[in-house]
Structure 1
Amino acid sequence: MLSAGCDAQFSPFFLIHAVVAIYQRGRSPGYALRDGDLMPHVNDKRAFNECTRLLGGPKQLHLNARLNGRRIVDTPHPGQQEFQALLLWCLLSPTRSIDWDRRIGRSFRDMFLYYSWASPQPERLSTGWTVAARVASYLLPSISIDDRGEARCGGVPGLRYASNNGRSIQLRHLPTGGTLELVDNRRHEHQDLREFLGFEASRAQHHFNRRPVTPVWEKPTLTSTEFTELRQWFLAQHAPLLSAMMARIDLLWRHFFNRAELDINPRSKCPRLSWWAGPTTMDFVTLLIDSPIAIDNVRAFSAGDQCRALALGDAALELRGPGDDQ
């Protein structure tokens, strides 16, 4: 059972990698204490700059996501939240533990190898990749027939190609309405990127258990096979926190370059995020509750064994990283 409590100590590692802006409860955003007095707006720019550093991605996208001078990190749309939560589950779950992750070659977790940056926007998650079309080809779904004659889905059920330009590919998730933008590090001609996606998808499908496959990523509706496969997704209750972690994936994938893993704690039945290098558990929690990229209204608890847990409404997420003495 989770018990209240959260240590607020900083290790030297944390102080090197993050400048924490302290927000006083009950005071207006943009105000800071100086010699006991409130000074309006002195920390706005500093907090924004630290937010952009921690999140990563092009500065213009951060500017686009401001509201009253503050960088909005978490989407207010429930559908986009659930899609980002599902995406985090796919990308960080143990390799091949999800039934949809069945293509020969790269697994969902291997998408980390192509990653450049992530910049959450209110209506979409914008992400950068070294080969955006290849990442899209692994995420977009196809249907094949297994040894028992049953139709199975490879890729994220319900994910669809929406559009592209010379730099990015837009994917839309039919069940949630969520949008993922995959931005390529290089600029292509508009048609070239679409053809590149077709080539990568064809190449990936050829290796799909070495069986004939039927691409469904341009179909306007959800197929019955996809509908059935989506029953494996069971963490919708925890979407607000899982979505928040997907929005902040740069903390794990770029700043601390480790392969964090998302699983289920068999005792508490809560989703659990684990990592083995980089910030201590407490330092990571501090980033999430008391910094320029803090999650609004989140509460932190002790979960024992150098673990912490976050709660936001009915959502919960356990965090397990290196101890403060490591």
Structure 2
Amino acid sequence: MFAHITVCEPSVGAAPGVTWRGVIVPHVNDRARLRECARILGAPITAYVPCRSGGRMVLDAAAPGQRAFQALLFAGFNSEGDHPWDGVRGRSMRELRLYVNWVAPQPDRLVIECTHAPRVVAHLLPHTQPLAAGATIMGGIPGLRITGYRKAVVELTHLPTGGRLDLRHGGGATSAYALRAIFASETDGTEHITTGDMGVDESAMYARWSPRRESAILSALMARATLFWTGFRHDTTVAHSKRSDCATRISWRRGRSTVEVARHLTDHVVGIPGARIDDSRSHEDSCVLTLERASVELDGPHIRSADRAGWHATSATSNLGSDGH
């Protein structure tokens, strides 16, 4: 059902139009690939311009810290039930996806456009709320800090990993000054940690997150999160898999089918370099995605007949070896 597919680097020195073991294929220029990337992932074309490199779309972070941060975000935004870093009041991390318009990776950061960026920032930043007898409760991502404002953008950095996140305000070309004022209005009743090093309580909260073996995959999925976050009611979850051959399951019941998502994750436009799906470990409703000796189960909506036919057609032309892309 799920044929073995590998996304690899293009052959060095190949003539224009000659790739993949010398097979002649139609030339796809940078602009066409850029348009296709924007169509599949949903952000404006301009958001992906920095990702172009040598005729390919490079969507995955090179820095290990950025990958670790994006893995953390994907697990948090798609948590199953309550998350230790949920805000002390209002929206949970999982519910913050409702504010997301699009996600676009950049060479040195992740960009997420939200309908109300300052509100999302207020939920993501570490914050405390006093309780009786001098106790406090804490929410937000430990170590996340505001590093700057610019027109329609709040710049954030995660201290433990060095990961960077730009939250774009989708409510118009709001000035940096206005964004600060809007953020201040969203913090009523809580004390937000916006600058400085991590304290003892914050460090203890961060210790609840342990990097997974699948971090490289989760980071890549965060860069392509809109493959899963389709429709108004996002229901994607990251949970433990019941399979014996992988520890993590990504499940969703609305939007693209398992086959469609698997096809995009292993294609030559938005695919993850080196990722593969092995038919021997997959069946009609779920499959196993493998990257760098780690695997996750993809468990989406039931496959439709049209998808099944389309998958076989794609497999016939995309079963690439280690010297192709």
Distance 1:103 1:77, change over 3 A: same
Residue 41 of structure 2 is aligned to residue 7 of structure 1 = no
Q: Please give the secondary structure, in 1, of the residue aligned with 2:263.
A: helix
* Length-normalised TM-score, structure 2: 0.81
- Residue 136 of structure 1 corresponds to 121
Match of 2:62 among 76, 86, 95: 76
Residues 167 and 183, structure 1, Cα contact 8 Å, conserved in 2: yes
Match of 1:60 among 22, 46, 50: 46
Residue 174 of structure 2 is aligned to residue 188 of structure 1 = yes
- Residue 252 of structure 2 corresponds to 275
State the alpha-carbon separation in 1 of the partners of residues 85 and 133 from structure 2: 17
Structure 1 segment 1-40 matched on structure 2, within 5 A = 6-7=2-3, 26=11, 28=14, 31=17, 38=24
- Residue 197 of structure 1 corresponds to 183
- Residue 312 of structure 1 corresponds to 291
Q: Kindly tell me the number of residue pairs found equivalent between the two proteins.
A: 297
Residues 274 and 321, structure 1, Cα contact 8 Å, conserved in 2: yes
What is the letter of the counterpart of residue 190 of structure 1?
A: A
Match of 1:263 among 239, 253, 278: 239
Residue 76 of structure 2 is aligned to residue 90 of structure 1 = yes
**Coordinate RMSD, CA, aligned:** 2.9
State the alpha-carbon separation in 2 of the partners of residues 23 and 192 from structure 1: 45
Match of 1:285 among 258, 262, 270: 262
Deviations 1:296-315 (A, max 9, x none): 00122325573211111133
- Residue 112 of structure 1 corresponds to 97
Deviation at 1:124, TM superposition (A): 0.5
Residues 32 and 42, structure 1, Cα contact 8 Å, conserved in 2: no
State the alpha-carbon separation in 2 of the partners of residues 125 and 30 from structure 1: 32
**Fraction of identical pairs, as percent:** 32
Structure 1 segment 103-182 matched on structure 2, within 5 A = 103-144=88-129, 152-182=137-167
What is the letter of the counterpart of residue 135 of structure 1?
A: V
Distance 1:184 1:49, change over 3 A: same
Distance 1:235 1:31, change over 3 A: farther
Unaligned runs of 5+ in 1: 10-21, 207-212
Deviations 1:261-313 (A, max 9, x none): 11112554612110112222222111111241010001223255732111111
**Range with greater deviation from structure 2 (306-315 or 153-162):** 306-315
- Residue 207 of structure 2 corresponds to 231
* Length-normalised TM-score, structure 1: 0.81
What is the letter of the counterpart of residue 316 of structure 1?
A: S
State the alpha-carbon separation in 1 of the partners of residues 296 and 290 from structure 2: 7
Larger relative CO (CA 8 A, sep 6+): 1 or 2? Answer: 2
